[in-house]
Structure 1
Amino acid sequence: MTCENHTVRGGLGEAVAATLAFAGKARPVLPIALPDEFLAAGALPTLHDRYGLSTDAVVSRVRAAC
């Protein structure tokens, strides 16, 4: 699982997945990241709520994945 304030494509999750694959230790990776699209502008707390990066949203995703 990775969590980042970046788009899902070209981000940390993709780099971690590639590193695991190249090392022969491929595992599912759940990236928690921004969607790969044009995003709205605004205050960070508002944007985090909108795009699922708020603390509560991240905790919910982690719990659902475990």
Structure 2
Amino acid sequence: MEVLETTEKEMMQKNVEEFARLQRYMRLSDKNSEAYAEMKDRYIDLKVILTASGINLTEFDKIKE
């Protein structure tokens, strides 16, 4: 059984894509909903991961919370 390794570049791309998708969902959701609260938790996780990876979110972050 072959183990596939995910490269750092692939992980970064995956996280950027997830961050963008999550922001779209958040913008469509009611800020007072349980779903929004769950999305916000993941948003914060991804924001920390991307910032630690050296990605500048200044222009990319549409939620800015």
Q: TM-score range by the shorter chain?
A: 0.3 to 0.5
- TM-score, normalised to structure 1's length? 0.32
- Rg larger for: 2
Larger relative contact order (C-alpha < 8 A, sep ≥ 6)?
2
Higher strand share: 1
Higher helix share: 2
